[in-house]
């Protein structure tokens, strides 16, 4: 028997399954430790060649041992076995193998490896793109790692903001000390640690003088916060960091419904105590189960009591691996050889034979462990029977966060490592990351082809050499051509090995060869966590109108409009949307209807300079408006195109109300603020956004005036007049504005009183044979009247002239957009102009294209289609090239995507009461 | 994510602010059309400092000018503008 | 003559350790002068050089790259290729490019892995669906493929989308362009470089342009970190940094640089078949051949030349994507990156002569430049070869901002940050 073992102690009380078989683990075991303890060395398959892979590390840098943990919607694919702690009932599965882990059909890719080197796919699979799509199907199925869950995620993820004076990353000896020092100095301290227990390297190499548990207690007693299972994953501008905190282990059921928490933290100072990652050693078959990093071996022995091998070869270029020899000997394993690439080293434990100038060249093995290690010692080869090789190729300081923060690196020749240097943010690195043990460069002894560098992506030294040979020589080209460092471990174990090879090829030092950029995240972050509560609503809150509940009682069809929801129609007796809308519109044309217009943009502009401000904002004249009068207006962007439209009312000498469209209300609010505060701060006026202060009700139809007169006990203002009034005991503003083409009023009322007013108007309206109407009826009404809508005819590309509004422009100029309008292309006679269309046959497809004959490029499009409300027959509004001068022309509206067509005649857009007679009493 | 020191509220997260435009792209509605279009449609867009108009939109809603480095994101100065900042 | 790429040659390599491959491009010293200099060794610059040599027979061409070729936005995008624009100037331009994409691997003898897997825009309400139909109809009338999908049809292609009626943004349908898809972005730069190099184009890396050589109002060459190089015509092609480089010639452009972020998840087995975008929301997702879900969202809405983004912008896009496709929830974001984009002031590119003689502009690609690579290279090569725009890029002149003939697909107007 050989391979990993653990002496049973009776503490193996946690049951879990791996690939359907039950095993037992001890409290505190990572899945990797538990698998090794159960003698399991083969854990996964590599990405490209499906080579058998085991556990190489004991930390987050693990490239090989990826498993899916959890079931159903909680399953987390690609979980590193070294970064998940076993819990009762945990279900883990191996990935990227079929039909089973030990017999994987796709491992035949390995046989074809000589033809499938770096970038092979760029050189073959030619032919039409459709052919590639077919080959790609095979490649895609072979690639990928685990499977994404197909069921919805049952858990929530929370997001919180935090602030602290000092944020310490890493609870190893240096981090604990930094955090305790800061806490004792009275600072608000946060200490974050990705492991489940504090200690860092102390868990592997205990120091009796340091008690991590006691230090954590002390920090907390001083008011500091210690976050375990929390990773500082991103370091952004101005000392802003994102932390991802696991509240439960992957796949586990969270007791309070939250699986993880994302912290957005602004820190006064950041201390990075992130330590070192060990470098693997390239030699042939160095990816086999049974090849493990030296410190990882020590961790398994000391922290978890698991001995990953019985007969062990150690290969190193530094002193640290000698400690592994000691740990193994203490644990009863046999260290059959310690291969030191250097000419001399420290004393080895008794009974361990040290070979100097010795490098591993190849290994071979069986399923869960090695069988033989072959080394080059001096100039000659020697083989050892061994089930494990513990390797150390030196150390890489964990400088990811330092680099994300914009820090510089310094090259340390003795350690062959980049060490964190200066940092532009308030950030320092402490601890072992600053002082990696000396470890000289060592030339690989094995065959390049099977000497893996990036284990997960199957990138070997030979692939690096091929990329170099083909001219992919910058470090970024190398990375992109070979996919080196792009696997889920993000090159944590491979980058420096590859860089050394590149430097060797170039004949330059490693820093001259360059370095790829470090970007967030440090370790992969769950998407659901980044989405947070937004995973349920796309981060889009629902905006509710004040009368929402009242409408709800009528069970309307709701219409989303931005974040708002508005009633689209109020069907009765099983009406369809179209039937309901037509009935409602007819009611407005023949009796009266009421509608909720609360979402309109509304701005109260007051002060002696109010008119001056409005004459900047509005492209029409405002100054001449009499008190108690209003008018239609529109606003241009600075480039001259129409931005929004609405009405402007003079409520009092120096007090105006400006309304604008629902869709553009937020944009208009920002624009009004810009003009008033930034562009014209000297004006004596105030602009108050009263959009949500008022609820708005439109009352329209031939009976509207009578209804309103009865309700207010006063003669309503004539068309485009304003009057304050009382309705249902509530003060209201009555604006005699019409969108429908009927005599109509907008009644604006303080939102909390809107319900009473609505109910009074509704009752009175129904008594007169009227009814509420929704947005769809409003569309029918306004299309027939030829009124434009923002987002429809006002499409951000239309000028006032295009829309037939040119005559209303303020002749004196000076308004925003006047300059833009002088540009020649804005008065091109062939621009798209607003026209009406009357169908000569069937319905007109909305959005359809206007052409003269089939096969022609479109000359315009239908912006809105409807039917005549009383008379019947299809009509539409459209934007047509040179349309102002094409009334009477016959065209075709075509919609190839819907297979619809209509013959139409171009007309004026004003189908209904063009003279405005219905506004008169 | 930057931290912007609002002249009225103090240091706040960037998410509370919106960028409007550079100070040299402010269009004077009373000016001539050519100058207006030059201001609207050309930018220095330097790989260095520029003066930018920002608004504390999701805060006090006041306007300010940030002198900000376009590569390092360092904010060299914040100046209040608008009615509050008039002499 | 370089060894052509083929399956046969790969198999031959299997026997010799792939030792027979030459460098994909040479590493020449710059000459004293060229007929045409292209500043910027990105996808567009390399494509321009290739078509100058191939279509116009102009081979005395240098591409000057300050870093390594393909290191700008061609190496930092989300690899989407499509021509489904509403406005004719745009869809005609991009459609010309899409046709080139379909034969590009063969043309370059470099598999750029263009994969026409379809790109769909989701519609979330009737208004969206009308807008999508309008876009599709405009495309179809101009001979470009577009098809409306019902939710049932969508479910067949993307079963993991949340197609329930109770979704926050229910999916009412989609507009799909089947001929659209994705390509291997780096391979596009390398493929053009290799093919251009084979036709004699000098690709000069680590050569930063630091100024222009002027003769009156004419640019006659450039000053570089590797000395002065003269040229008959000089083309700027450095989207992301156009403002900076044009500034060296004294030009102010209608462009502001912004950061656009993207991300990829850990690889999983196939789960997203097509490219999914949304008419109302701002995210786009596709799955790479390695299995990672590639996605992006809104740009950081303020000027920046820093290739690092703001985390909450990304989180918002992820929230939208996870809402529409809940199965993304337990995947993990593996890698993020950012590109510096030239945000033009109508959202459309600028390709054509500049106000300075001898100097030409290819800029303003906003966040849509990758898909344009072949069409941009083709039309810019035409412009540099003849001194005049090709019919397809004539609408994309710099003058349009002053004349008012802007091409504003998203109809937001002159401020990219209002987009």
pLDDT tens digits, C61-77: 999 999 999 999 999 99
Residues A347 and A400 in one domain: no
- Provide the chain C residues 202-231 that lie in CB contact (below 8 A) with chain B: none
Q: Does C236 touch chain B (CB under 8 A)?
A: no
Residues in chain A, pLDDT under 50: none
Query: Cα–Cα distance between C138 and A861 in angstroms, integer?
Result: 8
Q: Does A485 touch chain C (CB under 8 A)?
A: no
* Chain A: closest CA distance from residue C83 (Å): 16
| Whether residue B60 has pLDDT greater than 80 | yes
CB contact under 8 A, B45 and C243: yes
Q: What pTM was estimated for this model as a whole?
A: 0.97
Which DSSP category does A483 fall into? T
In this complex, the residue of C256, C301, C304 whose CB is nearest that of residue B43 is C256
pLDDT at C1: 62
Q: What would the pLDDT profile of A55-76 be if each residue is shown by its tens digit?
A: 999 999 999 999 999 999 999 9
What is the SS3 assignment for chain C?
A: CCCCCCHHHHHHHHHHCCCCCCCCCCCCCCCCEEEEEEECCCHHHHHHHHHHHHHHCCCCEEEECCCCCCCCHHHCCCCEECCCCCCHHHHHHHHHHHHHHHCHHHHHCCCCCCECCCEEEEECCHHHHHHHHHHHHHHHHCCCCCEEECHHHHHHHCCCCCCCCCCCCCCCEEEEECCCEECCHHHHHHHHHHHHHHCCCEEECCCCEEEEEEECCEEEEEEECCEEEEEEEEEECCCCCHHHHHHHCCCCECEEEEEEEEEEECCECCCCCCEEEECCCCCEEEECCCCCEEEECCCCCCECCCCCCCHHHHHHHHHHHHHHCHHHCCCEEEEEEEEEEEEECCCCCEEEECCCECEEEEECCCCCCHHHHHHHHHHHHHHHHHCCCCCCCHHHCCCHHHHCCCCCCCCCCCCHHHC
List the single residue in A with minimal CA-CA distance to C15.
A114
Architecture of domain C116-182+257-340: 2-Layer Sandwich (3.30)
Q: What would the pLDDT profile of B4-59 be if each residue is shown by its tens digit?
A: 999 999 999 999 999 999 999 999 998 999 999 999 999 999 999 999 999 999 99
Helix axes C88-102, C126-141, angle to 10 degrees: 70
Residues A830 and A914 in one domain: yes
CB contact under 8 A, C403 and A140: no
Q: Does B58 touch chain C (CB under 8 A)?
A: no
Residues A165 and A190 in one domain: yes
Kind plus residue range of the DSSP H or E element containing A411: strand A409-412
pLDDT at A691: 97
In this complex, the residue of A238, A678, A820 whose CB is nearest that of residue B20 is A678
Q: Is residue A539 part of a domain?
A: no
In this complex, the residue of C253, C302, C303 whose CB is nearest that of residue B42 is C253
Kind plus residue range of the DSSP H or E element containing A452: strand A452-454
Residues A292 and A424 in one domain: no
* Chain C: closest CA distance from residue A234 (Å): 8
pLDDT at A1: 52
Label residues C332-359 b or e (16+ Cβ within 10 Å = b): bbbbbbbbbbbbbbbbbbbbbbbebebb
Q: Which residues of chain B make contact with A238, given a CB cutoff of 8 A?
A: 1-3, 73
pLDDT at A277: 98
Q: Which residues of chain B make contact with A405, given a CB cutoff of 8 A?
A: none
Residues A92 and A166 in one domain: no
Query: Cα–Cα distance between A361 and A281 in angstroms, integer?
Result: 10
Query: Cα–Cα distance between A508 and A705 in angstroms, integer?
Result: 89
Work out how many domains chain A is built from and give that number: 7
**Residue A735's CATH number:** 3.30.1360.120
Work out how many domains chain B is built from and give that number: 1
Residues A273 and A414 in one domain: yes
> By three-state DSSP, how is residue A165 classified?
strand
pLDDT at A388: 98
Q: Does C255 touch chain B (CB under 8 A)?
A: yes
**Residue A200's CATH number:** 3.50.50.60
Q: What percent of chain C has pLDDT over 90?
A: 95
Query: Cα–Cα distance between A902 and A873 in angstroms, integer?
Result: 12
- Per domain, the residue ranges of chain C are 116-182+257-340
pLDDT at C16: 87
Residues A206 and A307 in one domain: no
Nearest C-alpha neighbor of C174 from the set C208, C133, C142: C133
Q: Is residue A538 part of a domain?
A: no
CB contact under 8 A, B72 and A406: yes
Contact (CB, 8 A) for A330 and A324: no
Domain that holds residue B76: 3-25+32-85
Residue identified by tokens 């109508």 is: C346
Q: Is residue A533 part of a domain?
A: no
Query: Cα–Cα distance between A834 and A851 in angstroms, integer?
Result: 16
Q: Does C397 touch chain B (CB under 8 A)?
A: no
Q: Is residue A625 part of a domain?
A: yes
As beta bridge partners, residue C86 has none
List the single residue in C with minimal CA-CA distance to A797.
C411
Domain boundary among A757, A773, A789: A773
CB contact under 8 A, C306 and B18: no
Residue A600: other Cβ atoms inside 10 A = 18
List the single residue in B with minimal CA-CA distance to A676.
B82
Q: Is residue A786 part of a domain?
A: no
- Provide the chain B residues 67-86 that lie in CB contact (below 8 A) with chain C: 70-73
Residues A165 and A122 in one domain: no
Which DSSP category does A146 fall into? B
Within 8 A by CB and 6+ apart from C16, the residues are none
Q: Does C293 touch chain B (CB under 8 A)?
A: no
Q: Read off the tokens for A544.
A: 């509710």
Query: Cα–Cα distance between A188 and B60 in angstroms, integer?
Result: 28
- Provide the chain C residues 40-79 that lie in CB contact (below 8 A) with chain B: none
Q: What percent of chain A has pLDDT over 90?
A: 93
In this complex, the residue of C247, C301, C306 whose CB is nearest that of residue B44 is C247
In total, the C-beta contacts within 8 angstroms joining chain B to chain C are: 66
* Chain A: closest CA distance from residue B62 (Å): 8
CB contact under 8 A, A532 and C315: yes
Residues A41 and A54 in one domain: yes
List the single residue in C with minimal CA-CA distance to A541.
C168
Domain that holds residue A858: 824-920
CB contact under 8 A, B3 and A236: no
Contact (CB, 8 A) for C94 and C371: yes
Which DSSP category does A856 fall into? P
pLDDT at C418: 87
**Residue B13's CATH number:** 3.30.2270.10
- Provide the chain A residues 592-621 that lie in CB contact (below 8 A) with chain B: 616
Mutate to test the interface with C, among A538, A568, A569, A865 (most CBs of C within 10 A): A538
Q: Does A662 touch chain C (CB under 8 A)?
A: no
Give Cα separations from A415 to A272, A408, A475, A487, A490 (angstroms).
Answer: 20, 17, 21, 26, 22
Residues A334 and A387 in one domain: yes
Which chains sit next to A, with 3 or more Cβ pairs under 8 A? B, C
Q: Is residue A348 part of a domain?
A: yes
**Residue A627's CATH number:** 3.30.70.1400
**Residue A458's CATH number:** 1.10.10.1100
- Provide the chain A residues 493-552 that lie in CB contact (below 8 A) with chain C: 517, 519-521, 524-528, 530-532, 534-540
Contact (CB, 8 A) for A170 and A195: no
* Chain A: closest CA distance from residue C16 (Å): 9
Residues A581 and A482 in one domain: no
DSSP secondary structure string for all residues of A591-636: S-EEEE-TTSEEEEEESTTHHHHHHHHBSB--TTPPTTBEEEEEEE
């Amino acid at each position: 028997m050989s391979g990993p073992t653990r002496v049973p102690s009776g503490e193996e009380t946690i049951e879990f399954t791996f690939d359907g078989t039950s095993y037992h683990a001890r409290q505190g075991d990572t899945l990797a430790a538990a698998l090794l303890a159960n003698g399991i060395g083969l854990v996964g398959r590599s990405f490209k060649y499906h080579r058998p892979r085991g556990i190489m590390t004991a930390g987050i840098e693990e490239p090989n041992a990826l498993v899916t943990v959890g079931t159903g919607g909680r399953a987390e694919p690609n979980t590193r076995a070294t970064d998940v702690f076993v819990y009762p009932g945990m279900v883990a599965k191996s990935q990227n193998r079929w039909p089973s882990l030990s017999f994987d059909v796709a491992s035949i890719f390995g046989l074809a490896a000589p033809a499938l080197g770096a970038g092979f796919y760029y050189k073959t699979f030619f032919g039409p793109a459709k052919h590639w799509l077919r080959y790609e199907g095979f490649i895609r199925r072979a690639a990928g790692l685990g499977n994404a869950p197909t069921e919805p995620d049952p858990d929530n993820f929370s997001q919180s903001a935090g602030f602290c004076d000092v944020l310490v990353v890493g609870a190893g000896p240096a981090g604990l000390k930094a955090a305790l020092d800061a806490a004792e100095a009275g600072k608000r301290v946060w200490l974050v640690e990705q492991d489940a227990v504090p200690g860092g390297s102390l868990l592997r190499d205990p120091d009796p003088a340091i008690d991590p548990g006691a230090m954590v207690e002390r920090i907390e007693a001083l008011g500091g916060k210690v976050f375990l299972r929390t990773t500082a994953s991103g370091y952004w501008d101005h000392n802003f960091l994102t932390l991802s905190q696991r509240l439960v282990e992957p796949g586990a059921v969270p007791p309070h419904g939250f699986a993880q928490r994302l912290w957005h933290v602004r820190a006064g100072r950041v201390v990075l105590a992130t330590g070192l990652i060990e470098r693997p050693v390239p030699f042939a078959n160095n990816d086999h189960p049974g090849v493990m990093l030296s410190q990882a071996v020590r961790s398994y022995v000391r922290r978890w009591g698991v001995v990953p091998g019985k007969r062990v070869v150690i290969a190193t270029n530094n002193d640290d691996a000698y400690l592994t020899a000691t740990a193994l000997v203490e644990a009863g394993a046999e260290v059959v050889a310690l291969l030191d690439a250097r000419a001399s080293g420290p004393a080895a434990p008794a009974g361990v034979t040290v070979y100097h100038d010795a490098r591993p060249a190849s290994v071979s093995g069986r399923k869960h462990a090695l069988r033989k290690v072959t080394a080059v010692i001096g100039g000659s080869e020697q083989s050892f029977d061994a089930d494990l090789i513990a390797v150390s190729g030196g150390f890489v300081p964990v400088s990811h966060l330092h680099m994300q923060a914009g820090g510089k690196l310094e090259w340390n020749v003795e350690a062959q490592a980049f060490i964190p240097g200066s940092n532009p943010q308030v950030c320092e690195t402490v601890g072992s990351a600053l002082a990696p043990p000396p470890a000289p460069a060592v030339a690989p002894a094995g065959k390049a082809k099977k000497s893996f560098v990036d284990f997960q992506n199957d990138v070997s030294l030979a692939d690096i050499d091929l990329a170099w040979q083909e001219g992919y020589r910058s470090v970024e080209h190398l990375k992109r051509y070979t996919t080196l460092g792009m696997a889920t471990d993000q090159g944590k174990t491979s980058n420096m090995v590859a860089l050394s090879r590149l430097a060797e090829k170039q004949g330059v030092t490693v820093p001259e060869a360059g370095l790829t950029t470090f970007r967030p995240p440090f370790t992969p972050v769950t998407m659901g966590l980044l989405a947070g509560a937004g995973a349920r609503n796309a981060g889009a809150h629902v905006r509710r109108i004040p009368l929402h509940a009242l409408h709800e009682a009528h069970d309307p069809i709701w219409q989303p409009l931005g974040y708002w929801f508005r009633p689209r129609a109020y069907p009765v007796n099983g009406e369809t949307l179209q039937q309901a809308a037509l009935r409602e519109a007819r009611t407005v044309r023949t009796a009266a209807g009421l509608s909720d217009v609360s979402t309109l943009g509304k701005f109260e502009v007051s002060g002696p300079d109010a008119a001056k401000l409005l004459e900047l904002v509005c492209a029409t004249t405002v100054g001449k408006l009499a008190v108690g009068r209003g008018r239609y207006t529109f606003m241009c962007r600075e480039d001259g195109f129409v931005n929004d439209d609405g009405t402007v009312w003079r409520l009092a000498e120096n007090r105006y109300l400006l309304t604008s469209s629902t869709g553009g209300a937020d944009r208009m609010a920002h624009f009004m603020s810009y003009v008033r505060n930034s562009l014209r701060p000297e004006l004596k006026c105030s602009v108050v956004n009263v959009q949500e202060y008022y609820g708005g009700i439109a009352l329209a139809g031939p009976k509207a005036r009578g209804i309103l007169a009865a309700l207010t006990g006063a003669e309503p203002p004539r068309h485009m007049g304003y009057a304050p009034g009382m309705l249902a005991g509530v003060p209201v503003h009555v604006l005699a504005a019409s969108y429908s083409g009927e005599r109509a009023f907008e009644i604006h009322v303080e939102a909390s009183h809107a319900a009473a007013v609505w109910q009074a108007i509704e009752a009175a309206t129904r008594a007169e044979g009227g009814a509420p109407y929704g947005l769809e009826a409003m569309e029918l009404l306004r299309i027939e009247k030829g009124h434009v809508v923002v987002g429809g005819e006002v499409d951000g590309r239309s000028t006032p002239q295009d829309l037939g509004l040119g005559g209303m422009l303020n002749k004196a100029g000076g308004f925003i957009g006047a300059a833009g309008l002088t540009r020649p292309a804005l008065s091109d006679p062939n621009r798209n102009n607003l026209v009406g269309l009357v169908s000569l046959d069937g319905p007109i497809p909305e959005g359809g294209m206007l052409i003269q004959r089939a096969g022609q490029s479109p000359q315009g499009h239908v912006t809105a289609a409807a039917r005549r409300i009383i008379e019947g027959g299809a009509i539409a509004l459209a934007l047509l090239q040179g349309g102002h001068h094409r009334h009477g022309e016959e065209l075709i509206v075509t919609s190839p995507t819907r297979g619809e067509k209509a013959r139409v005649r171009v007309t004026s857009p004003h189908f209904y009461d063009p003279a405005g007679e219905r506004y008169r009493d | 994510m930057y931290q912007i020191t609002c002249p009225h509220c103090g240091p706040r997260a960037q998410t509370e602010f919106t960028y409007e435009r550079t100070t040299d792209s402010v269009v004077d509605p009373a000016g001539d059309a050519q100058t207006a279009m030059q201001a609207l449609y050309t930018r220095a867009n330097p790989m260095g400092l520029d003066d930018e108009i920002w608004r504390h939109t999701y805060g006090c809603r006041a306007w300010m000018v940030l002198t900000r480095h376009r590569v390092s994101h360092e904010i060299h100065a914040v100046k209040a503008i608008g009615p509050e900042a008039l002499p | 003559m370089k060894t052509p790429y083929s399956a046969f040659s790969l198999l031959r390599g299997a026997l010799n350790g792939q030792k027979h491959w030459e460098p994909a491009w040479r590493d020449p010293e710059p000459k004293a002068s060229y007929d045409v200099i292209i500043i910027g060794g990105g996808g567009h610059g390399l494509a321009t050089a290739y078509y100058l040599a191939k279509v116009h027979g102009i081979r005395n061409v240098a591409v000057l790259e300050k870093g390594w070729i393909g290191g700008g936005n061609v190496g930092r995008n989300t690899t989407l290729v499509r021509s489904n624009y509403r406005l004719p100037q745009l869809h005609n331009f991009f459609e010309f490019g899409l046709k080139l994409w379909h034969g590009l691997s063969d043309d370059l003898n470099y598999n750029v892995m263009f994969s026409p897997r379809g790109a769909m825009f989701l519609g979330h309400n009737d208004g969206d669906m009308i807008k999508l139909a309008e876009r599709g109809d405009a495309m179809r009338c101009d001979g470009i493929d577009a098809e409306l999908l019902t939710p049932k049809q969508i479910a067949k292609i993307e079963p993991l989308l949340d197609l329930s009626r109770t979704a926050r943004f229910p999916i009412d349908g989609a507009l799909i362009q089947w001929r659209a898809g994705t390509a291997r972005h780096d391979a596009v730069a390398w493929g053009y470089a290799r093919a251009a190099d084979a036709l004699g184009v000098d690709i000069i890396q680590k050569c930063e342009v630091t100024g222009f050589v002027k003769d009156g109002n004419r640019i006659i060459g450039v000053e570089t970190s590797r000395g002065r190089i003269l040229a008959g015509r000089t083309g700027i092609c450095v989207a992301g940094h156009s403002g900076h480089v044009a500034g060296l010639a004294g030009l102010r452009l209608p462009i502001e640089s912004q950061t656009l972020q993207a991300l990829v998840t850990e690889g999983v087995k196939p789960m997203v078949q097509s490219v999914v975008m949304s008419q109302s929301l701002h995210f786009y997702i596709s799955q790479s051949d390695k299995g990672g879900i590639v996605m992006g969202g809104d740009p950081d809405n303020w000027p920046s030349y820093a290739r690092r983004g703001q985390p909450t912008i990304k989180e918002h896009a992820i929230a939208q994507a996870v809402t529409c496709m809940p199965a993304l929830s337990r995947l993990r974001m593996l890698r993020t990156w950012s590109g510096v984009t030239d945000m033009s002031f109508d959202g459309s590119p600028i390709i054509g002569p500049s106000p300075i003689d001898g100097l030409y502009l290819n800029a303003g690609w906003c966040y849509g430049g990758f898909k344009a690579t072949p069409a941009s290279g083709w039309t810019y090569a035409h412009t540099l070869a003849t001194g005049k725009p090709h019919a397809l890029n004539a609408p994309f002149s710099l003058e349009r901002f002053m004349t008012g003939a802007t091409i504003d697909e998203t109809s937001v107007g002159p401020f990219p940050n209002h987009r």
